[in-house]
Chains A and B, each alone.
Chain A
Amino acid sequence: MKNSSPVKWLVSREGLYYLALAVLLVLVLPALLDSFRLNMVGKYLTYAFVAVGLVMCWGKAGILSLGQGVFFGLGGYCMAMFLKLEASTPEATAQQSTPGIPDFMDWNQVTELPWFWEPFHSFSFTLLAVIAVPMILAFIIGVAMFKRRVGGVYFAIITQAIASILTILIIGQQGYTGGVNGITDLQTLLGWNIRTDEAKTTLYFVCVAMLFLCLFVARYVQNSKFGRILVAMRDQENRVRFSGYDVASFKVFIFCLAAAFAGIGGALFTLQVGFMSPSFVGIVPSIEMVVFCALGGRYSLLGGVYGALLVNAAKSGFSESFPELWPYAMGALFIGVVLAFPNGLAGLYQRYVMPLEDRLFKRGKSGDAGNDDAALSGSLGAEKSS
């Protein structure tokens, strides 16, 4: 845990895992994949933001949210609104009855840009909103729930209800939100065409860079005393409370952090995929996000990233050949995770591969595995206690 210098950290075991992920995402995948496939990987990576947030929120702190799609969607919609406004210049929409507003508004007899769309003319406001809107909603939900000590299953159900409510709201308010189709036909970002192959590749690298930024923020939080308090809360909430901590504010903070990550992921999703719709907001996508996290290993930040990548890759692979089988495969995967390897891939890695590494590199000192590999660890303790 002593990060004496960045270089030293990079050659530590944990550092090497991060380095391996960076090499995979920055060098290997771009070299192997064409721009269409790389764009798909970029899309999967946007879910990794949500998974990293869930690792912090669910894995570390024990707060299971089944509504992360809400925050992903809000981030995505904020970005989509900006792009839609940019695409809806009076010239481009001259044939509408009200030129200068998004096309779906015109189709729904809306004749004036709604007030909450106005600020999304500004790019800097949009960037702020991508993070702030999910965080504000998470803050309101968090304060309302955690101050009243609502937790566990009840919290999960309430987040799920919120996912459902938001979906219904978006679909119902077609004229303001684009309804079930979502906000589509997004072309340019500040005049830069995001539909070209080069743009998609650039956005992929932006996405990777942002993911690492989020990973490092999460890693900082995890390795600070705050991170240890989260783990402590998961074990013995009362003991934390009677050690002098206001438990609710710690939960609110971590829930907001997870929401912010999800929002960033959502915005990058919109940029790379070119549209945003309620189908990424509701209950089903929210639960899928939990599956990514569970499969990768809910105690491991990097596990969350790999989980998002692998499950989505499997989903695309399956859906291309046997579209109707995917839900069953997904269900089977989840059951498999819960029954056979509750700590996900990271847990398996830790149990079977790490000892091999130890032997390979003769790093016999067992003590240094514990703290050093905070990224993949954490499950050790949980494994033993369960």
Chain B
Amino acid sequence: MNKDQFLLAVEGLTVSFDGFKAVDDLSFYLDPKEIRVIIGPNGAGKTTVLDLICGKTRATSGSIRFRGKELTKMKEHQIVHAGVGRKFQNPSVFEDLTVFENLEVSYPEGHTVMGSLAFKRDTAVMEAVEEVAGTIFLKDLLDQPAGLLSHGQKQWLEIGMLLIQKPDLLMLDEPVAGMSVAERRQTAELLRVITRDHTVLVIEHDMQFVGDIADRVTVMHQGKVLSEGSIEHVKNDPKVIEVYLGH
């Protein structure tokens, strides 16, 4: 079978920090338009997997192929241009810039030094920003400095910053952590919209939420895949109950 028919193929991925293998011979595959959720106990290596895919951490060995391109040798910004977007666990938005400017900076044009000097705020940019702002419930706050947003709104803004890049693969690290119940509900709705036309890789603990959105679930434990399959499958897997879901 041709590996490149997967959107993302992670094979034999290993990273060791001073001998400690945070991710150990990990393999998994994502189909186009799939929603995959990674769950697992703290320290299982979930965030490290996202770090490896987006280039923040370099793999010790193994391969990450995205649409046929090997990501492990590429620089962070090249991986972004290849079509991988990453949201961090703590909302990281540009607090001194307005919501509009945050989205504009993420707009996929003018990404070189000269390009950004010559960049013009034309109607295409305005429209893209407004469309995304509508999706992430921030349409009325475009001129607001991002530093003044609530925690939940910052999370949405960061998701919006990814959406405007038009990535093929979106990676979200605990998108609903620290959110109020109402915000959580809105975020689930937002993710449902996003997942219509993106492949999404999510790390999440909230099993209710996972059940709502996941096509397939990968359970990680000590840097390895413990179980993989539908939410029902992993929920009933005795190994998963043992190490993660509790007795």
Contact = CB atoms under 8 A, between A and B. Distances in A.
Contact of B76 (A226, A242, A381): A242
**Contact size range, B:** 35 or more
B15 interface: no
Contacts of B92: 236, 238-239
Contact of B96 (A244, A247, A381): A381
A250 B114 CA distance: 10
A232 interface: yes
Contacts of B121: 225
Contact of B119 (A224, A370, A378, A384): A224
Contacts of B239: none
Interface stretch (B105-113, B183-191, B194-202, B230-238): B105-113
B73 interface: no
A291 B66 CA distance: 49
Interface string B118-156: 110100000000000000000000010101100000000
Interface string A363-386: 000010010000000101110110
B95 A226 contact: no
B77 interface: yes
A385 B76 contact: no
A225 B107 CA distance: 11
B96 A231 contact: yes
Interface centre among A220, A231, A250, A381, by most chain B C-beta atoms within 10 angstroms, is A381
A239 B94 contact: yes
A208 to B, nearest CB: 26
Contacts of B97: 228, 231-232, 235, 381
Contact of A226 (B54, B86, B96, B113): B113
A385 B96 contact: yes
Contact of A244 (B80, B95, B145): B80
B235 to A, nearest CB: 33
B93 A239 contact: yes
A228 B104 contact: yes
B3 interface: no
Q: Is chain A's binding surface mostly helix, strand, loop or mixed? A: helix
A253 B113 contact: yes
A252 to B, nearest CB: 8
B110 to A, nearest CB: 5
Contact of A239 (B88, B104, B143, B145): B88
A381 B54 CA distance: 30
B111 A245 contact: yes
Nearest to B96: A381
A146 to B, nearest CB: 12
A384 B145 contact: yes
Contacts of A382: 96
B227 interface: no
Contacts of A221: 117
A243 B165 contact: yes
A244 B165 contact: yes
A235 B56 contact: no
A97 interface: no
A245 to B, nearest CB: 6
Nearest to A235: B94
B25 interface: no
A225 B105 contact: yes
Interface in B85-105: 85-86, 88, 92-98, 101-102, 104-105
Given A239-B88, A241-B76, A243-B161, A229 B105 contact: yes
Contacts of B147: 381, 384-385
A239 B75 CA distance: 14
A386 to B, nearest CB: 10
A228 B117 contact: no
19 contacts: A220-B117, A224-B118, A225-B105, A228-B104, A231-B96, A232-B94, A232-B102, A236-B93, A236-B94, A238-B92, A239-B88, A239-B93, A242-B56, A244-B165, A246-B75, A246-B77, A381-B97, A381-B147, A384-B145
List of 6 A-B pairs having minimum Cβ-Cβ separation, nearest first: A381-B96, A244-B80, A225-B119, A232-B94, A226-B116, A239-B92
Given A244-B81, A244-B165, A382-B96, 19 more contacts: A221-B117, A224-B117, A224-B119, A228-B101, A228-B104, A231-B96, A232-B96, A232-B97, A236-B93, A238-B88, A238-B92, A239-B93, A239-B158, A243-B165, A244-B80, A246-B75, A378-B96, A381-B147, A384-B145
